[in-house]
Amino acid sequence: AVEVPESDVLEGLQVAQGAIQELCALQKELLEGYSVPEMDWSPVEPDSELQKKVEDLALPRVTEALNLGDKEERHQAMATVTEEVVTKLTEQDDKYAEHAKDISEILRSIEKKTMRRQILDEGKRADGRGLDDIRQITSEVGVLPRTHGSALFTRGQTQALAVVTLGTSRDEQRIDSIDSREEITKSFMLHYNFPPFSVGEAGRIMGPGRREIGHGALAERSVARMMPKDYPYTVRCLSEVMASNGCLLYTSDAAD
């Protein structure tokens, strides 16, 4: 959406919803007489006595851990709470040694409920930010001396290094597409790399995956609109993710 008012976006969603409802009605009509009856099932609930003991031991500490500002510290604090609760309950009674997984699930449920209650009642997210607060972003340009352009963007625990290379019309990307009989060329490209080390993992660096393709396409469509018409150069922008808080690994057995 290029500077579209929210009212227009809302109206478009309402039109789409009406069309989707027609499709759903058609699907129900096609399935009439062929639907499989719903299977009866009962959810597996944790032992009430165990849940009460875990809540008494962990609830204040979970609340404290969720309000730590740093995401890595929050994860580590929750892993420590889990490990210590399991250890304490096991010391009290040997029968709890077989329920370490159940204790972890109860703690996860406590964490979710505590987070939701804090957001709804206090308007405060897990790291202390309000509902309309965003992390501060810092930008640096010209960080690489021998490129046509470079910039470093940092927000929280996420960092991306963008590098721009200019070329002539001979450097345009040639594309064979089923949507056109003729060869298509692109003079602006934005490629996105998300290497394993950015989230603290070890892995092979291979061809682009769905994340790289999807993120790159979204960024390319947004930046391409800022390119001047009849620009004589071919432009390739490469976004290298240096760090991301999307996933963090811990060696603690409790965290696993």
| Residue 247: both structure tokens together | 């996933």
Alpha-carbon gap, residue 137 to 162, rounded angstroms: 15
Lookup result for tokens 């340009």: 141
Left, alpha or beta for 82 (phi > 0: left; psi -120 to 50: alpha)? alpha
pLDDT of residue 92: 77
Tell me which H or E stretch contains 41: none
Q: Which residues of 51-70 are buried (b: 16+ CB within 10 A; e: fewer)?
A: bebbbebbeebbeebbbbee
Band of the pLDDT at 245, cuts 50, 70, 90? confident
pLDDT (tens digit per residue) in 28-64: 999 988 888 888 888 888 788 888 888 888 888 888 8
Q: Which two tokens stand for residue 121?
A: 């009642």
Q: What is the pLDDT of residue 246?
A: 61
Tell me the pLDDT band of 165, cut-offs 50, 70 and 90. Answer: very high
Highest average pLDDT, of 115-124, 158-167, 225-234, comes from 158-167
Mean pLDDT of 218-231: 90
Q: How confident is the model at residue 247 (pLDDT cuts 50, 70, 90)?
A: very low
Q: What are the tokens at 250? A: 């811990």
Half-sphere exposure of 222 (CA within 13 A, CB side): 9
Helices (H), the chain: 6-31, 48-66, 71-92, 100-122, 210-224
Asked if the model's pLDDT at residue 70 lies above 80, the reply is: no
pLDDT at 234 over 80: yes
Query: Do 190 and 216 meet the contact criterion of CB atoms below 8 Å apart?
Result: yes
Whole-number mean pLDDT of the chain? 86
User: pLDDT class for 86, splitting at 50, 70, 90?
Assistant: confident
Q: Report the pLDDT averaged over residues 6-16.
A: 94
Among 18-22, 56-60, 134-138, 249-253, the range with the most confident prediction by mean pLDDT is: 18-22
pTM of the full structure: 0.66
| pLDDT above 50: residue 228 | yes
- Whole-number Å distance between alpha carbons of 149 and 102: 53
Check residue 2 and give its pLDDT.
67
Question: What is the rounded CA–CA span in Å between residue 25 and residue 37?
Answer: 19
